[in-house]
A and B are shown apart, each in its own frame.
Chain A
């Protein structure tokens, strides 16, 4: 009997590439694809277990919850420690909750992996019978906070809930590790020990190249800034596909389509979707890079002396540009980042950590003001507009009597609750403009979409041609603010905006008479 063949083979890699890798991986496989994150690498889990806490890992399938349990079990074995790796096995949550309760009563630390849907259901339906769920619920709802006052809303004493939905795994460290794991030498050997060649060997070789690796990391980091949750499974799926194209064998005679830079745009999965949506070579243009690549493509194609080559040149151009994303050596002084660093500039600019809240706040106020009044560049006060009618059409006129000084507004950046901030990386996908009323606050959530709408407008698009959805968000925010402000009944300056022409009238009502202001 020979030695059992390693399970770390191309078949495994191609399974990863197809996304649907089995829940039942061999231990060897699990070890191989395990990526150390802050959760285990920086001893967050270990510390919690040693402090006698129960950690509830929640999030989406593919977030790697079970993986952490398997990773911890050898060092913190049952029955001293309590583990629950699959809540969905329980048809009746009370069975699970009884076990959980017993473990809590017996002070058994442990890790529970529960997807967020079931966890939500448990906390809403069973909190009466299992009071500890109240603690879970408050933590679940306060994973992200906007200011320090919210810290006390949750108690992290004996149970710690960590929602991996909020985790950004597209960090340099994690991506680097994943590339390293999947381009391991182990995959370059046949079962009989011979070296493989063909497309897989080509792709692995390329992806081990420092420059290519660096570009993959940068590109994926940019993907991580988008408003989308990417799981560890998505990342492995992407990288494994770039290597194998979901083929179990390395094909020696291969074409462009099996090269990693083309595969990066042709698979299916979260990262592929995001790349195609936001980083499509056709959408990200650059005058120098494009003309150079187009010229190269033309030269290559026409050398073959074929007619009707336009389409072919185009195809070649796209391929070259994809290649340039990773192997940006073709043009001196330009690199791949020149193509995408301006994607959603205004949002990233506002999100920039180096900028003070105050300056971002003024920016946002100015952008909102100029959305309604294109020639306004005021960042010191927010003008509050009202749109009111009963039919299903946008307003012919907007009206305003209130300005909110910027000191009554705050810019808030969501952050992880301090109790869990060491557990993971978090990339906020929005920030908020907050108005603090006398006893309640109103928040405008500024996400990339809203930010883009406001930024791109710059006052040049006529009001009636603008999309209503984002405007609705602005107007609702304003209506809530207006409701919380005090007003005089018989004195005030009213702005009337004709939305069809963009013309503005300003009229002061004073003691039942009008004063007109001409602009």
Chain B
């Protein structure tokens, strides 16, 4: 049977990571839909809501069923144009993540504030399942806290859509248990996922309790949970190869150098870019191990070089989603070139060369085989989630510079409420647990060196990582309100006990 590269791609992702990270559309809001539906054990389907917030350009109010007009008191005074305007504004509230496609609800994700907006699970289901598993593994009441918040409808957004949403149907969600990826367990001692289990445990202590007096849900907590989940997804994928490679991994997690220098032309910015590239290639290597596994299962180990070349010659090797003969010809040519050029110096067997070739073509940057790899998924997701800068599909030379809204839950995942630590200890903690490097710890350089990232010299400053960058990080933590600087260079980071 001919090989479908896209299936190989997604099966490889499944084998390596335990989920399918193969979508260009994955946005944080999709994670929120699936994670929250898992937390709740249900989704909420409201045709009325969807119909009403459909783009007025597509379904003008004049075409809307009378019952929608009937929702408005003295609706005769409300012109169709006014209603269009209103619907357009209301739509924006739910489309605040730019993922509301009302005409195809199943791909939509509304910006959710309560369970009424947790509707469909289509995109990012398996990655979110993983995030939920980590969250659920944590010894905390985070599930309960989120449920309490989501089931409450006192907030402005729920109130606004109440007439349209409250009678929606509840659909139960069966959360299938997480299956460890075949290529190696995700959880366990020394695994990065366990750091996040602990992280959710600490983070949950910062989330507000909904007791009887304060019945309102708290949007910031929902955001913190999803932001942290997004960060988990990225860091987990970055470290996967190190965890499943045959030759035993490196001791330290993949470094993520946060660039707080404020510009892009200095050794820290270069190291940040370099660490971003290392993450990319590590994710690619993990996927490659997945490809190897998949091809082995499909019996490609039995193929000789002649077999492969013959099948290529006969156009029987690949199943291509193409109609034009010359395109098919070009695809085969490309594949053959890659295969002929592939080498595996250690194990120069046909199978290893084939694995190499398949892995290379699915990662081909021109995307000629239309495969969206875990590497691209992670990268696109990371700028959407506010981990990488600059944003946008066409940006290049991205660097790690998390948004304050992203940095905050990460900090809250390592600092218990009502406690404090020095900025230096915080940096050490972030480095050890997540691989985050901001400067200020003694191990920064050796950590980077272990991953072959060299911190160049600066013409203008002696040690930009420990000076300018660490200073910038300090300011970022300060402006979140968590750091206080004392004389003699001591900066203390403390998080107050939750008041309620």
Which residues of A approach B to under 8 Å, CB–CB? 59-61, 88, 115-121, 124, 386, 388-393, 395-397, 399-402, 438-440, 469, 472, 476, 479, 482-490, 492, 494, 496, 498, 503, 505, 507, 509-510, 512-516, 518
Contact = CB atoms under 8 A, between A and B. Distances in A.
B391 interface: yes
B423 to A, nearest CB: 12
Contact of B27 (A391, A472, A489): A391
B159 A401 contact: yes
B156 A514 contact: no
B89 A485 contact: no
Contacts of B404: 469, 472
Contacts of A60: 487
A516 B488 CA distance: 60
B490 A120 contact: yes
A121 B157 contact: no
Contacts of B40: none
Q: Which 6 A-B pairs have the closest CB atoms?
A: A392-B386, A117-B490, A117-B486, A389-B96, A117-B488, A401-B156
A388 B479 contact: no
A437 to B, nearest CB: 8
Contacts of A503: 89
B190 interface: no
B23 to A, nearest CB: 16
A395 B82 CA distance: 23
Interface string B45-76: 00000000000000000000000000111100
B338 interface: no
A507 B386 contact: no
B71 A399 contact: no
Contacts of B159: 401, 487-490, 492, 494, 509
B89 A390 contact: no
A386 B156 contact: yes
B137 to A, nearest CB: 22
11 contacts: A116-B487, A118-B488, A389-B111, A390-B97, A392-B405, A395-B96, A402-B156, A479-B219, A487-B215, A507-B86, A514-B163
B72 A490 contact: no
Given A390-B111, A395-B96, A516-B72, A483 B160 contact: no
Given A390-B29, A392-B384, A509-B162, 12 more contacts: A121-B490, A386-B156, A391-B98, A401-B156, A440-B500, A482-B216, A489-B162, A498-B92, A509-B160, A510-B73, A514-B72, A515-B72
A120 B486 contact: yes
Interface stretch (B220-228, B246-254, B257-265, B363-371): B220-228
A469 B162 CA distance: 32
Contacts of B223: 388, 390
B27, B78, B89, B97 — most chain A CB neighbours (10 Å)? B89
Instruction: Give chain B's interface residue range (CB within 8 Å of chain A).
Output: 35 or more
A516 B86 contact: yes
A61, A115, A388, A439 — most chain B CB neighbours (10 Å)? A388
Interface string B185-217: 000000000000000000000001000011110
Nearest to B90: A496
Contacts of A487: 154-155, 159, 215-216
B203 to A, nearest CB: 16
A390 B71 contact: no
A505 B85 contact: yes
Given A124-B420, A509-B159, A514-B163, A388 B403 contact: no
Interface in B16-32: 27-29, 31-32
Contacts of B406: 392
B454 interface: no
Nearest to A498: B89
A488 B97 CA distance: 27
Interface in B63-118: 71-74, 77-78, 82, 85-86, 89-90, 92-93, 95-98, 111, 113
B153 interface: yes
B486 A397 contact: no
B384 A396 contact: no
B419 to A, nearest CB: 10
Contacts of B5: none
Interface string B383-400: 111100001000000000
Contact of A399 (B95, B156, B215, B499): B156
A482 B220 CA distance: 11
A63 B113 CA distance: 50
Interface of B: 27-29, 31-32, 71-74, 77-78, 82, 85-86, 89-90, 92-93, 95-98, 111, 113, 153-160, 162-163, 166, 208, 213-216, 218-220, 223, 226-227, 383-386, 391, 403-406, 420, 479, 486-490, 492, 499-500
Nearest to B83: A516
A486 B154 CA distance: 8
Contacts of A400: 156
A389 B78 CA distance: 30
Contacts of A391: 27-29, 97-98, 384-386
Nearest to A518: B82
Nearest to A479: B220
Contacts of A498: 89, 92
A119 B208 CA distance: 33
Contacts of B219: 386, 388, 479
Given A61-B487, A479-B219, A514-B73, A438 B160 contact: no
A190 B424 CA distance: 51
B365 to A, nearest CB: 25
B160 A496 contact: yes
A117 to B, nearest CB: 4
Nearest to B160: A494
A88, A496, A503 — most chain B CB neighbours (10 Å)? A496
Nearest to A441: B499
Contacts of A439: 499-500
Contact of A505 (B86, B156, B383, B405): B86
Contacts of A116: 486-488
B84 to A, nearest CB: 12
A116 B214 CA distance: 39
Contact of B218 (A61, A399, A479): A479
A395 B96 CA distance: 6
Contacts of B32: 390
Contact of B92 (A120, A397, A483): A397
A119 B486 CA distance: 9
B89 A514 contact: no
B391 A392 contact: yes
A440 B499 contact: yes
A386, A392, A512 — most chain B CB neighbours (10 Å)? A392
A88 B488 CA distance: 9
A195 B13 CA distance: 86
Contacts of B86: 505, 507, 516
B492 to A, nearest CB: 6
B59 to A, nearest CB: 18
Nearest to A401: B156
Contact of A120 (B77, B385, B492): B492
Contacts of A401: 155-156, 159-160
A509 B163 contact: yes
B274 to A, nearest CB: 23
Nearest to B28: A390
A490 B77 CA distance: 23
A399 B89 CA distance: 10
Contact of A117 (B78, B96, B386, B487): B487
Contacts of A59: 487
A487 B111 CA distance: 21
B104 to A, nearest CB: 20
Contacts of A393: 391
Nearest to B157: A399
A514 B406 CA distance: 37
A468 B213 CA distance: 32
A389 B353 CA distance: 46
A386 B223 CA distance: 13
Contacts of B492: 120, 124
